[in-house]
A = this chain, B = another copy of it.
Amino acid sequence: MTDTPAPTGRQAILRAARRAFALHPYAEVTLRGIAADAEVSASLIVKLFGTKEELFARTTDFSADADELLDAPLDGLGRHLVLTLVRTRRQRRTDPLLRVVFALGTEDERTLLRDRFREQVTTRLAALLPGDDPLLRAELVVGQLLGLGAAASIHREDGAIGEASPERLADLYAPGLQRLLDGA
């Protein structure tokens, strides 16, 4: 996790927005608060993302991340998933999927986050899979990916995952993913 560039204003805003919507009820979140956290002006947020509602919709959208994660042939998808997830975490200092876990255990508007995730990530992946029980296997693949991000975060940058190369992580973690994808 060295040599990571500072996030751009756009990335800093998205990160601050995800944090704000994860930690506080929608009604309590303000663009002013997000701007302060992102160290930008509120007017820059409005210029880049529009209203609070539009920013919320953007933070609950996983389709661009799913595009990148799923951009490989099925027979190499396990490895591509690990490499893409790890590189995205390191380059952008954010996990492409993990924000969905902050929606666990709540029953308010964050239900939207789970529903979007299922539709944009899990169901889309399941449609690519041959063999039996594609939805079950897709849910388990998604779980294994969420777990990689969670383990990297819990064990921090000085943990063994943080110190390992993306290729080494793919060597260890991708075979289990590929097995689920293949339905062997």
Contact = CB atoms under 8 A, between A and B. Distances in A.
Interface of A: 19, 22, 98, 100-105, 114, 117-118, 122, 133, 135-140, 142-156, 159-161, 163-164, 168-169, 172-173, 175-177, 179-180
A118 B175 contact: no
Contacts of A101: 101, 104, 150, 154
Given A153-B104, A176-B179, A147 B143 contact: yes
Nearest to A150: B146
A175 B182 CA distance: 13
Q: How often does this chain occur in the complex, in copies?
A: 2
Secondary structure dominating the interface of A: helix
Contact of A140 (B103, B140, B161): B161
Contacts of A150: 100-101, 104, 143, 146-147, 150
Contact of A118 (B104, B152, B154): B154
A109 to B, nearest CB: 16
A150 B101 CA distance: 7
Contact of A176 (B104, B105, B176): B176
Given A154-B104, A160-B135, A161-B136, A176 B118 contact: no
A117 B172 contact: no
Interface centre among A100, A102, A151, A173 (most CB of B within 10 A): A151
